[in-house]
A and B are shown apart, each in its own frame.
Chain A
Amino acid sequence: MRRYLRPAAALHAFSVLVYLFLLAPLVVVVLASFNSADFLSFPPRGLSFRWYVSLWESGVWGDSFQLSLIVMAVVTPLALLIGTLAAYALVRYTFPGKGVITTLIMAPMVMPQIVLGIALLGYFSSLGLIDSLVGLVLGHVVVTLPFTVRLVSISVHNLDPVLERAALSLGATPLQTFRKVTLPLLRPGLVAGAIFAAILSFGELAVTLLIAGARTTTLPLRIFNYTEYNFDPTINAVSTIFVLLALVLIIVLDRLIGLVRIK
């Protein structure tokens, strides 16, 4: 019932331009990844998969890819578990200091990434965690935790406590209730939280830049190094993988839990 609010042609054109603007760099990179020439050129010289082949065969890119995946695989369950427990406590219960703890958990999101990076740099230095897997995991968990807490909180909020009470009244212990009633009903938040934690860890750069090193060059870090210092068109192929990943995840999120929830 919105025909009467038909946007003026100008608004229409302007908005379309904005959306094209949002797409531009991504589209360009994806197209460039199929460019057979080894320098940036537009229109592309020819169509080729050589950069993907190069990526597949490359040792260093493969190592970085593997490292990022490993970190992501460790960070995601950690951030999700810790975040879910905290989210449940924060939404369901009241207790003194609740505000402080909420602020504490959300704080890494509010802090400028460079500041967090520098802080961890100094701190990890003294602990010998620079250029270490453990350091990376810890840093990523801190960065992703606010997101998992927030996303799972939404689901906890939507979960009527009456359901848990019903289970208890039917004889289930709190643990059984949690397993059989609470967790399944939290699925949307858990899925969203897991996906966000995973993708944020996979693409994390700001903090990684400061605490990683030669032995822990994640994928985004390698792209950064290559962009800054030398040039390798394989970056286009790597970047395209990121774009494709995001596309797939958006579809998954939408199908699974209607995350793209505009009425």
Chain B
Amino acid sequence: MNRRWRHRLAVAGLLAPAVIVLVLVFVLPSIDLFRLSLGWMDAQRSIHSDVSLSNYWEFARNPYYHRMVWGSLKLTVWVACLCLLLGYPATHYMIHIESAIYRTVLYAIVVSPLLISVIVRTYGWVVLLANNGVVNGTLHTFGLIDKPVRMLGTFGSVVIATVHVLLPFMMLPIASALQGLDPALERAAQSLGATPLQTFWRVTLPLSMPGVLAGTSLVIALTLGIFITPLLVAGPLQPLFAIGIYYVTLSQLNFPLGAALSFILLVFTLAVIGLVGRLLGAINRNIA
């Protein structure tokens, strides 16, 4: 008996620091967030904490928030599709490179952005797309334009910058899936008469689906909550959910409303992840 209790104590001891930190700095704040979302702010900017669903009602009613949701969904679809269209071929290409050095370099190009703060990556796009930025400057130098083309502040620039920031999150799961494939499978298909295109369509793509889904779900979840990049590239008036939350909370100081919107975003994101997770599970069951 003594041994078993010592064992339990050991496990508890190992987990205690993590659990304590997370409960204090994660669980409690989250609960607090929900409670806060049930409060409301009056016209004099004072916060009341009696329970009401007014914030949630406001979200349901006010077309301003609907525009934000719509904007986020639009962005998500664009970003997810572009990440997939750009990411899959580039990943497939990288995996099939013969030279180990070249492959490592490409892999480093994909991984290193994750080690660079999002602000730097986003700032780079500001430098590129500003009116007096690199793209406009180059176009002007080559005499292709007279006046700078306005790129920052547009939906397009948000898409481009977001795709750039999230592309590694699409490519890495796909790389993992493709690497896990027995290289003999593609050779087998070819030996049976399948052209490289047929091999890809019938063998490689179906077997890499788990990676594709994982990457897509990750990109979708991250796009729904993205705010720093769009904020810097297009300003606080972009109709995006997370920017709306940021604006409501820090500019209007309406914490309860911000909390409610945050909660809605959280639930929505979890729902998306859960759904894709189900899909993944079903697909994995079919692939042994």
Which A positions have Cβ atoms within 8 angstroms of B? 1-5, 7-8, 11-12, 14-15, 18-19, 21-26, 28-29, 32, 39-43, 81-83, 85-86, 88-90, 93, 95, 101, 104-105, 107-108, 110-116, 118-124, 126, 138-139, 141-142, 145, 149, 174, 196, 199, 202-206, 209-210, 220, 223-224, 227-228, 235-236, 239, 242-243, 245-247, 249-250, 254, 260, 262-263
Contacts and interface: CB of A to CB of B under 8 A. Distances in A.
A110 B274 CA distance: 11
B221 A242 contact: no
9 contacts: A5-B196, A11-B89, A18-B90, A26-B116, A29-B124, A114-B242, A118-B33, A260-B111, A262-B179
Interface stretch (B208-216, B254-262, B279-287): B254-262
A242 B118 CA distance: 10
Given A19-B106, A260-B107, A112 B228 contact: no
A190 to B, nearest CB: 15
A104 B22 contact: yes
Given A93-B11, A138-B25, A122 B123 contact: no
Contacts of B245: 114-115, 118
User: Would you list the 3 A-B pairs with minimal beta carbon distance, nearest first?
Assistant: A25-B124, A112-B225, A203-B117
A204 B123 contact: no
Nearest to B168: A22
A112 B221 contact: yes
Nearest to B242: A114
B27 interface: yes
Contact of A205 (B92, B118, B269): B118
B7 to A, nearest CB: 8
A149 B265 contact: no
A81 B210 CA distance: 33
Given A85-B17, A227-B123, A242-B120, A1 B183 contact: yes
Interface in B141-193: 141, 164, 167-168, 175, 179, 183, 186-187, 190
A23 B167 CA distance: 12
B21 A123 contact: no
Given A25-B127, A119-B32, A145-B21, A88 B14 contact: yes
Contacts of A93: 11
Interface stretch (B50-58, B59-67, B73-81, B95-103): B95-103
Nearest to B225: A112
B86 interface: yes
Nearest to B116: A246
Contacts of B14: 85-86, 88-89
Which size bracket describes the interface of B in this complex?
35 or more
Residue among A11, A15, A18, A245 with the highest chain B CB neighbour number at 10 A? A18
Nearest to B184: A1
Contact of B15 (A41, A89, A113, A138): A89
B94 A86 contact: no
B17 A15 contact: no
Contacts of B259: 118-119, 122
Contacts of B87: 18
B276 interface: no
Per DSSP, chain A at the interface is helix
Contacts of B263: 115
B244 to A, nearest CB: 10
B164 A42 contact: no
A102 to B, nearest CB: 10
B25 A120 contact: yes
Contacts of A249: 115
B269 A112 contact: yes
Contacts of B41: none
Nearest to A236: B127
B120 A243 contact: yes
B107 A262 contact: yes
A40 B127 contact: yes
A86 B18 contact: yes
Residue among A12, A89, A202 with the highest chain B CB neighbour number at 10 A? A89
Interface in B6-20: 8, 10-11, 13-15, 17-19
A99 B8 CA distance: 17
A128 to B, nearest CB: 14
B251 interface: no
A118 B249 contact: yes
A82 B106 contact: no
Contacts of A242: 116-117, 120
A179 to B, nearest CB: 15
A75 to B, nearest CB: 12
Contact of B265 (A15, A114, A202, A204): A114
Contact of A142 (B13, B26, B128, B269): B26
